[in-house]
Amino acid sequence: MIGKTILLIDTSYPINTRNSKILMSVSGCEKHVATWNRDNRPALSSKKCYSENIFTSISPYGNKILKIGKLFTFAVFVKKCIKEIKPDYIIASHWDTLLIAVLFNHGKCKLIYENLDMPTANNGFILALLQKLEKHALGKTDAIIFASRFFVEQYPFYRKKTLVLENKPFADIKNEKPAVYLHSTDNIKLSFIGTLRYFDCMKNLITAASGLPIDVLFFGDGPDYSKLKTFSENHDNVYFFGKYNYEDIRCIYELSDIIWAVYPNKDYNVKYAISNKFFESLVFHKPAFFAANTLLGDFVMKNNIGFVVDPYCSECIREKLLAIISNIKMLDTIVKNIKEYNSKSSLFWEDDIQLLRHIFD
């Protein structure tokens, strides 16, 4: 990679943590990012291993129609970046940036698809159309980096380089920083850690835990923060801690007894995804809840390393919580199984760095 240039394309600002880790893991080259500041947030001044090319145009997260409408102007911006930077490698993060990269690359540099999420849509016709567009673009792609082991089976037609690089944390996640969060009660502490969205599923957790000796702790911010706070006003066992620094993640996990890592399984992508919370819960030996009818949920059940629930059924969630309350040793059994599973598995990002580098050969 010495003397080479990489351009990573992302439709959010700042770029997501996974993309930052990918760029940090490739050394000896010049690194650039073309990214879209969709909510006009101030540019971050923190030190980075790459130079930023920022396109600013308001397009609220969650508004897919508006994003599609402005995607063309972002594409023009990306075209300009490619022309000026002249990269040897383009990393297209997500299927929409892959379509843009294929449109303007013209085979001049190697194209790598960062398959963070698969195309998804509620409408079957639209989903089939997006999958067809993605497949066409992959014909002009040199490699795929899969964010989930479960994505691979959806691309049997792809015969070039592939790599499964899941969202494992860096080994320093277990740092010994002083605790910054305190929550001392006799109740079971069930925490959600991340972006607050998917209100329809989150409210079912709050409803299910109502009146039980369980404190529901929300760490993070997001589009559904206000709705969740309003919904929780009459629930005295729900607590919001707001935005957190990732470097404090150890503290959050250590004060938690159970982790909520449940996503809406009606989403096509969710059925095959594997979250960073899965690996974090393993690292910190914390039982976690995952969504039923997903491949990750099936994997968790098979290995008995967590709990699986229907995210749309508050009564089902409550039934599982009551089972834990009546037999708290269930948590000890899960922890024991997690430790046994960990002894045979790789858990950290560093374990896969060498695998990442071969993609750029």
> Checking phi first, is residue 145 left (phi over 0); if not, alpha (psi -120 to 50) or beta?
beta
Calpha distance 60→297 (Å, rounded): 31
Lowest-confidence pick of 42-51, 197-206, 212-221: 42-51
Give the number of C-alpha atoms closer than 13 A to the C-alpha of residue 147, restricted to the C-beta side.
Answer: 25
Q: DSSP readout, 150-179?
A: TTGGG-TT--SEEEE---PPPGGGG--PPP
What value does the mean pLDDT take over residues 223-228?
Answer: 94
| Neighbouring residues of 297: CB distance < 8 A, sequence distance ≥ 6 | 265, 290, 291, 308
Q: How far apart are the first and last CA of the chain?
A: 8
* Helix, strand or coil, per DSSP, at residue 51: strand
Q: What is the pLDDT of residues 292-308, one digit of tens each?
A: 999 999 999 999 999 99
Lowest-confidence pick of 77-81, 88-92, 217-221, 243-247: 243-247
Calpha distance 121→267 (Å, rounded): 8
Please check whether residue 177 is in contact with residue 247, taking contact to mean a CB–CB distance below 8 angstroms: yes
Cα–Cα distance list, 352 to 22, 115, 125, 144, 145 (Å): 11, 16, 37, 15, 12
User: What pLDDT, on the 0 to 100 scale, is given for residue 122?
Assistant: 81
Q: Higher pLDDT residue, 69 or 190?
A: 190
Rounded to the nearest 5°, which phi and psi values hold at 26?
-110, 115
Cα–Cα distance list, 91 to 108, 332, 359 (Å): 14, 42, 11
Please check whether residue 197 is in contact with residue 171, taking contact to mean a CB–CB distance below 8 angstroms: no
Calpha distance 188→194 (Å, rounded): 20
User: Which of 23, 20, 17, 54 is CA-nearest to residue 39?
Assistant: 54
pLDDT at 223 over 90: no
pTM over 0.85: yes
Helix (H) or strand (E) holding 318: helix 314-326
Could you give the angle at which helices 276-283 and 329-342 cross, rounded to 10 degrees? Answer: 100
Q: What is the pLDDT of residues 114-164, one digit of tens each?
A: 999 999 888 889 889 999 999 999 999 999 999 999 999 999 999 999 999
Rounded to the nearest 5°, which phi and psi values hold at 124?
-60, -40
* Helix, strand or coil, per DSSP, at residue 126: helix
Please check whether residue 2 is in contact with residue 86, taking contact to mean a CB–CB distance below 8 angstroms: no
pLDDT at 1 over 70: no
User: Which of 212, 1, 14 is CA-nearest to residue 87?
Assistant: 1
| Neighbouring residues of 356: CB distance < 8 A, sequence distance ≥ 6 | 22, 25, 26, 145, 163, 165
| Neighbouring residues of 136: CB distance < 8 A, sequence distance ≥ 6 | none
Q: What is the pLDDT of residues 100-123, one digit of tens each?
A: 999 998 777 999 999 999 998 888
- Share above pLDDT 90 across residues of the chain, in percent, rounded to a whole number: 76
